[in-house]
Amino acid sequence: MAINVKNVQKFFIINGRKIEVLHDINFSIGDGQIISIVGTSGCGKSTLLKVIAGLEQSTSGSVELNGKKIDHPSEKDIGVIFQEPRLLPWSSVEKNIEFGISQTLSKSEKKKIIREHVDLVGLTGFEKALPKQLSGGMQQRVSIARSLINRPNTLLLDEPFGALDAFTKINMQKEVLHIWEKEKTTLILVTHDIDEAIFMGDKIVVLSAKPGTVKKVISVELPRPRDRTSDDFARVRRLVYEQFFPKEELAVEYNI
């Protein structure tokens, strides 16, 4: 699904004051592309994702999916993984994953797919556990499995791996890329992890804050699978860091 974000502006009323959170946001995503969005906390990343998902109305501007304006959430087309796991507290891991699964499937097909997805996110053995019996990262993995289960053609991920340890995070990034390669899903990934943005994205949209606006779009022209230790990767990393820190600070602070 090709996505076009056109002149998106968003105001919120905070303490009676009108605050501009997003200012004139423009970028596009080709069908089957991956876009990473990076920016400091509070710059409007989650708000932008909600506008793209149709969960939040922009004050002006528009978002088009394959040339068609969206103004309401469409779960069939767009899957969203929110920043915080939104699980049903009284339902088990497998019931949470099952929630929203296509009703056209037979009972045995559903069972098989749920088992595959529990395994995909490494939760085999925890099928019957309730969310409160899981760690934050495990809960997030349940959300990831739930949003993948119907294979939406567009997937919006809001810092999905933020609560995971470095090793699980790298494995989950690879798993999402496998699904992307297989299904040709269009992906938008909000992340505060610059290496993750580079590892995953065809393009990186750098947002600046107050109000959130596109500072730069960086194309990542590295072959996949990407090697985080390569010189080419480091060159892109430097380019992204330069958007946030003055050049003279980079060598000292990050040694890249």
Question: Residue numbers of the site for Mg ion (CB under 5 A)?
Answer: 45-46, 83
Pair of tokens at residue 252: 């000292």
Stretch that binds ligand ATP, among 38-46, 194-202, 219-227, 230-238 (CB under 6 A): 38-46
Residue 137 and residue 93 in contact, taking contact as beta carbons nearer than 8 Å: no
Distance CA 252, CA 256 (A): 9
Applying CB under 6 A, which of residues 30, 42, 100, 136 lies at the interface with ligand ATP? 42
Distance from the Cα of residue 32 to its chain's centroid: 14
Applying CB under 6 A, which of residues 43, 81, 155, 240 lies at the interface with ligand ATP? 43
**Is position 201 an interface residue for ligand ATP (rule: CB under 6 A)?**
no
**Is position 47 an interface residue for ligand ATP (rule: CB under 6 A)?**
yes
Relative to beta strand 68-69, strand 60-65 is: antiparallel
Residue 173 and residue 199 in contact, taking contact as beta carbons nearer than 8 Å: yes
| Nearer of residues 14 and 252 to ligand ATP, judged by Cβ | 14
| Nearer of residues 83 and 171 to Mg ion, judged by Cβ | 83
**Is position 23 an interface residue for ligand ATP (rule: CB under 6 A)?**
no
Q: DSSP characters for 142-178?
A: HHHHHHHTT--SEEEEESTTTTS-HHHHHHHHHHHHH
Residues near ligand ATP (CB under 6 A), total = 12
Applying CB under 6 A, which of residues 46, 92, 139, 143 lies at the interface with ligand ATP? 46
Q: DSSP characters for 186-216?
A: EEEEE-S-HHHHHHH-SEEEEEETTTBEEEE
* Nearest distance in Å: CB 174, ligand ATP: 24
Task: Determine the angle formed by the axes of helices 231-241 and 247-254, rounding to 10 degrees.
Answer: 130
Applying CB under 6 A, which of residues 1, 36, 38, 45 lies at the interface with ligand ATP? 45
| Nearer of residues 46 and 153 to ligand ATP, judged by Cβ | 46
Residues 70-89 that bind ligand ATP (CB under 6 A): 83
The residues of the shown chain that bind ligand ATP, judged by CB under 6 A, are 12, 14, 21, 39, 41-47, 83
